[in-house]
Amino acid sequence: MIKLPTRNPMRTSHLENSFIVQRRGMALLAALLPVAFLVSSFVFNRTDFQTSISAYYWTLDLERNFFVGVLCSIGVFLLLYKGYNWLEDRILDLAGVSAVGVAFFPIDQAGDCASAGISAHGVFAVTFFACIFFICIFMSKNTLEEMDNVQRRAAFRLAYRVCSGIMIASIALAVLSRLLPKEYTQMLCENSVLFWFEALGVWAFSAFWYVKTRELDPSRSWMPFGKKHGA
């Protein structure tokens, strides 16, 4: 007779811990994306400082692999992650597909300053941030409504509004910078303004995801792999 394994009472806790670590790991990966390229250019002098984060795709193999790897990791996580409801789940799926699309449809090899018009890369990037912005503004309230502490709820709502504001502003400025007269567009591009717009958007996304994780489980350390408070 086959003996069935008994249920481990720690299994639920272990799975919850894995869930939190994965969420924070994704936020950390996103935050490191611009930082890694800044280190490549200014610390190790491996590459020239590029006009945008996306332009590092065409530099060296390590930088390209890191760019594609991080975006694909984020994309797969968002696709596998289950949202709070059906709508949030579908929007996260679209964000995941868009993140992978940004990696697999790079900018023109001629560079940001030489290219113009609509591209698959740009469409995927804007779609990704639009999805996260929507989640940040309209979906976050689903869990906040279950929070009893009014002051804490207000603090998280403010944090989400700040993150979403930075995200949408950074993307809007990046798009608008491409619509200016040619001489101004060229000047902004050559001074890598687009890199900083993209970096702000990525850091705002990372901050939103990390703060949201903090909301879901306030008992755990703020550090990605820290222990529970009081443990």
Tens digits of residue pLDDT in 88-101: 999 999 999 999 99
* 182 vs 114: CA distance, rounded Å: 11
Q: What is the pLDDT of residues 135-190, one digit of tens each?
A: 888 887 778 887 888 898 899 999 999 998 998 899 888 888 877 888 888 888 88
The predicted model scores a pTM of 0.84
| DSSP states along 63-116 | HHHHHHHHHHHHHHHHHHS--SSHHHHHHHHHHHHHHHHHHHSPPPTT-TTT--
**Residue 21 near residue 225, CB atoms below 8 Å:** yes
Question: Residue 36 domain-assigned?
Answer: no
pLDDT of residue 90: 94
Please indicate, yes or no, if residue 141 is contained in any of the structural domains. Answer: yes
Indicate whether 3 pLDDT > 60. no
The answer to whether position 136 is within a domain reads: yes
Q: Is residue 130 part of a domain?
A: yes
Of 82-91, 131-140, 183-192, 221-230, which gets the smallest average pLDDT? 221-230
Residue 75 is assigned to a structural domain of this protein: yes
Q: How many domains does the chain have?
A: 1
Which helix (DSSP H) or strand (DSSP E) does residue 125 occupy?
A: helix 120-134
**% of the chain at pLDDT higher than 70:** 86
Q: Sorting pLDDT into bands at 50, 70 and 90, what band is 220?
A: low
Sign for the CA dihedral angle at 74, 75, 80, 82 comes to positive
User: Has residue 14 been placed in a domain?
Assistant: no
DSSP 137: I
For the chain, what is the total number of helices (H) and then of strands (E)? Answer: 8, 0
Ranges 9-13, 183-187, 198-202: which has the least confidence: 9-13
In a domain, 112, yes or no: yes
Tokens of 204: 């705002």
Sequence letter at residue 38: L
Domain region containing 93: 51-216
